[in-house]
Structure 1
């Protein structure tokens, strides 16, 4: 935990960065029961090749599931229908049920509108039918359109009812959806959002998600915070590998529990911010502001600590704000958040036709990405940039809607470390590619996604062969 203890005399906020790492088990991983719900968009806009490719992706995902997995499939338009199993609940995957599920997917026809909240609500009902404790609950959905047949308030109510019930990854197909809706879903349900502009890429993406889900052995994780009475919790935010505001809080035995979801082998970072009245703190007194404990849900359904607790200690100094250096890591996290906001503002402005605002936000985002050494987001921004008559960068007027949606949906993705100048100078030389998020070298030179963290390799640079 990175928690700078010294606070300026007039400070009213204390922050800490907490890193949680899930590691692959040595030897055979424990077999944890897994429940999977696949959600397919069958609205009228999914006509022809789009729906054919989506069906192929769904069938490939079903083939990836190991025997014994619990499976349900929801087909959605302005309503939601469970198309598998036909008897309700979830079915146990075996050779026979796997073929039945694929036949029901193949038989779907496009019709109607889009109400994504209804799809998620039906998925929640399916997961509720699982009576075995400690089951990993995981869903994936794709959509090619906007959530037009329900209000944002209706979607919000359903997301609140689904929070901490299951993990959900969302994919936007083509270029007629909106990044805000996908990010809202995945932030609430601890998943990832991706733009799949090339529809044929969905099959590889879905099979990767299924394989990753079957490596999860802890159904749920929680950040436990026991606060000193002089402090209040301002916010908890995930900062890596993607930014997300964590709004759900539970109170258990005097401790605030914040659901973190669950994930396979990777590290995630969280920012905890506390607020306080500085007049309640004695100058130069070391004070424990909070005790932080990581809790896990175990296969028997109980929730217990799974790591040693850490103390968040603060000390109010007599020095004013300008006299105490700010934590460089916390400064970087805040700059990364500002970069993401500028990227979304750029995409939103261009989509509504406000070119001047889009150009302004592009310049702001590009400068932040350069200073942070964020090669992945910098490549996205440079791909849609050109030089204007005034010599300043501006958004290309022929930038496609798909490119803008990718900028919006990738705006929350952060890197594991800053890139150095030599990495920024690398160009595609035909060498194996390295993931811009986790620096893993792709073993398959034609792979579209990183096999470790799942990040898109569309903009990955080559391995440094110097």
Structure 2
């Protein structure tokens, strides 16, 4: 198991890893409507061949869209203009509208500055025009520059207003953008960030991205957490295939819902961390700290459970100072997070000219990648490494800005090999459960712990875990 239920006597934190897997539907895919907003950077820095290649990539992305898809295109610089459809809202894709959209993309000129938040805000307005609540909403943007015409606070405010409204993937073109900005956007909007240093690669990237986006059939997913009153939610982090802090929370009927976005057939893993006062836990007693359920938004707009509930169980051990070995899977997750932080610190230090700091972070990141067997990130690090006069690895002094940006943006990508994590499943008994401590009747016949006081239900039977 990824997280043992046993906790040291003075522990104040309990963690669990949860894996959520989306499977391809057997037979024909469900008919779920999709809304796509393509955001193109037309700032002055996109002049000449950059904009030409970007137009080619945008037109290729439009060609991949199925008939019936809803489409809008935003052209952005220091402002945001909806260039398609000219009538406002989103247009239904067919042969005629597809050609019209490509003509409007082809007619764009490079001018002005960069205000990415304005582009995202306009995309949110377009998605708001969709009447069907069960529509999958997906945006894609590229930029070749820094977000220079708005403050970080303005961008943060817009990202908060867009969160859980749509998914957004972002691409950095060339070598003049910054990885922190792209990661900030995609982590808030459940997307991926990529470095496209060679502009000619953008067309292949966009077409693949659009095909994957059209395989999404669930508009939104949520991790539902019903906590025992003695526990508080510290954080929820996505740990694979990319790392992201998920801080947005909603409270529905006494249950905390953490938005997870939505994705095609793949597995994603999340780390849930709870805080508590150890003095409130009875020693050597199994206790349900949280009940975990996956919720989905269905085509009619309702949000309903789509998995069986599972219990996160803890037990405070009696011996103060007695060491309990930490879960190796959670230890790996923490080390992967440290590796990503070291990679970003290395890239940031090199970009600001602090080469001594960059060397130290490179050595730390390389050591962590080697111990984790993370060949993908290790390959990136070794590509910019050399041996210094002291015989130790150091950053190559001729490492390009594009290489460092790729290290920064790929720092959040964890290995695809899944670690063992607790499954969202429980065993059904079909009988109502009554708490022997407070006489509360459980709302579900599968309940293993009292929702009122957290006491185990049943007479000494096995306890289901995540």
Calculate the TM-score normalised by the size of structure 2: 0.89
Greater Rg over alpha carbons, structure: 2
Give CA deviations for 1:55-107 in whole Å, capped at 9, x if unaligned: 00000000000000000000000000000000000000000000000000000
Partner in structure 2 of residue 195 of structure 1: 195
**Deviation of the 1:318 alpha carbon:** 1.7
**Deviation of the 1:426 alpha carbon:** 42
Residue pair 2:2, 2:420 contacting (<8 A) in 1 also: no
Does the C-alpha gap of structure 1 residues 127 and 297 become closer, same or farther in structure 2, counting only changes over 3 Å? Answer: same
Does the C-alpha gap of structure 1 residues 430 and 38 become closer, same or farther in structure 2, counting only changes over 3 Å? Answer: farther
Between the aligned partners of 1:441 and 1:257, the Cα distance in structure 2 is 24
Relative CO higher for 1 or 2, CA cutoff 8 Å, sep ≥ 6?
2
Give CA deviations for 1:320-364 in whole Å, capped at 9, x if unaligned: 465211000000000000000000000000000001000000000
Q: Look up the SS of the partner of 2:424 in the other structure.
A: helix
Does the C-alpha gap of structure 1 residues 408 and 15 become closer, same or farther in structure 2, counting only changes over 3 Å? Answer: same
Between the aligned partners of 1:174 and 1:239, the Cα distance in structure 2 is 28
**Deviation of the 1:319 alpha carbon:** 3.4
Does the C-alpha gap of structure 1 residues 423 and 155 become closer, same or farther in structure 2, counting only changes over 3 Å? Answer: closer
Once the two structures are overlaid, the 10-residue window that deviates more, 128-137 or 321-330, is: 321-330
Does the C-alpha gap of structure 1 residues 36 and 111 become closer, same or farther in structure 2, counting only changes over 3 Å? Answer: same
Between the aligned partners of 2:433 and 2:211, the Cα distance in structure 1 is 22
**Deviation of the 1:3 alpha carbon:** 3.6
Residue pair 2:288, 2:449 contacting (<8 A) in 1 also: no
Residue pair 2:19, 2:267 contacting (<8 A) in 1 also: yes
Partner in structure 1 of residue 327 of structure 2: 327
Give CA deviations for 1:350-401 in whole Å, capped at 9, x if unaligned: 0000010000000000000000000000000000000000000000000000
- Runs (4+) of structure 1 exceeding 3 A deviation are 319-322, 418-466
**Deviation of the 1:465 alpha carbon:** 40
Between the aligned partners of 1:93 and 1:53, the Cα distance in structure 2 is 23
**Deviation of the 1:31 alpha carbon:** 1.1
Residue pair 1:286, 1:314 contacting (<8 A) in 2 also: yes
Give CA deviations for 1:119-169 in whole Å, capped at 9, x if unaligned: 000000000000012100000000000000000000000000000000000
**Deviation of the 1:2 alpha carbon:** 3.8
Does the C-alpha gap of structure 1 residues 223 and 445 become closer, same or farther in structure 2, counting only changes over 3 Å? Answer: closer
Once the two structures are overlaid, the 10-residue window that deviates more, 163-172 or 421-430, is: 421-430
Partner in structure 2 of residue 385 of structure 1: 385
Residue pair 1:434, 1:462 contacting (<8 A) in 2 also: no
Between the aligned partners of 1:185 and 1:435, the Cα distance in structure 2 is 46
Residue pair 1:238, 1:270 contacting (<8 A) in 2 also: yes
**Deviation of the 1:37 alpha carbon:** 0.0
Partner in structure 1 of residue 365 of structure 2: 365
**Deviation of the 1:463 alpha carbon:** 43
Between the aligned partners of 1:37 and 1:314, the Cα distance in structure 2 is 45
Does the C-alpha gap of structure 1 residues 198 and 272 become closer, same or farther in structure 2, counting only changes over 3 Å? Answer: same
Unaligned runs of 5+ in 1: none
Residue pair 2:310, 2:464 contacting (<8 A) in 1 also: no
Give CA deviations for 1:27-48 in whole Å, capped at 9, x if unaligned: 1110100000000000000001
Residue pair 2:287, 2:455 contacting (<8 A) in 1 also: no
Between the aligned partners of 2:257 and 2:326, the Cα distance in structure 1 is 28
Once the two structures are overlaid, the 10-residue window that deviates more, 435-444 or 144-153, is: 435-444
Does the C-alpha gap of structure 1 residues 450 and 320 become closer, same or farther in structure 2, counting only changes over 3 Å? Answer: closer
Residue pair 2:428, 2:445 contacting (<8 A) in 1 also: no
Partner in structure 2 of residue 112 of structure 1: 112
Between the aligned partners of 1:319 and 1:276, the Cα distance in structure 2 is 18
> RMSD in angstroms over aligned alpha carbons?
13.6
Once the two structures are overlaid, the 10-residue window that deviates more, 127-136 or 429-438, is: 429-438
**Deviation of the 1:179 alpha carbon:** 0.2
**Deviation of the 1:449 alpha carbon:** 46
Residue pair 1:434, 1:461 contacting (<8 A) in 2 also: no
Once the two structures are overlaid, the 10-residue window that deviates more, 424-433 or 261-270, is: 424-433
Between the aligned partners of 2:110 and 2:353, the Cα distance in structure 1 is 31
Does the C-alpha gap of structure 1 residues 338 and 430 become closer, same or farther in structure 2, counting only changes over 3 Å? Answer: farther
Does the C-alpha gap of structure 1 residues 375 and 444 become closer, same or farther in structure 2, counting only changes over 3 Å? Answer: farther
Residue pair 1:218, 1:298 contacting (<8 A) in 2 also: yes
Residue pair 1:15, 1:272 contacting (<8 A) in 2 also: yes
Q: Look up the SS of the partner of 1:150 in the other structure.
A: coil
Q: Look up the SS of the partner of 1:38 in the other structure.
A: strand
Does the C-alpha gap of structure 1 residues 421 and 289 become closer, same or farther in structure 2, counting only changes over 3 Å? Answer: closer
Residue pair 1:432, 1:463 contacting (<8 A) in 2 also: no
Residue pair 1:379, 1:459 contacting (<8 A) in 2 also: no
Q: Look up the SS of the partner of 1:422 in the other structure.
A: coil
Count of residues in correspondence between the two structures: 466
Partner in structure 2 of residue 54 of structure 1: 54
Unaligned runs of 5+ in 2: none
Residue pair 1:35, 1:69 contacting (<8 A) in 2 also: yes
Between the aligned partners of 2:437 and 2:55, the Cα distance in structure 1 is 30
Residue pair 1:415, 1:438 contacting (<8 A) in 2 also: no
Residue pair 2:427, 2:446 contacting (<8 A) in 1 also: no
Does the C-alpha gap of structure 1 residues 387 and 347 become closer, same or farther in structure 2, counting only changes over 3 Å? Answer: same
Does the C-alpha gap of structure 1 residues 177 and 280 become closer, same or farther in structure 2, counting only changes over 3 Å? Answer: same
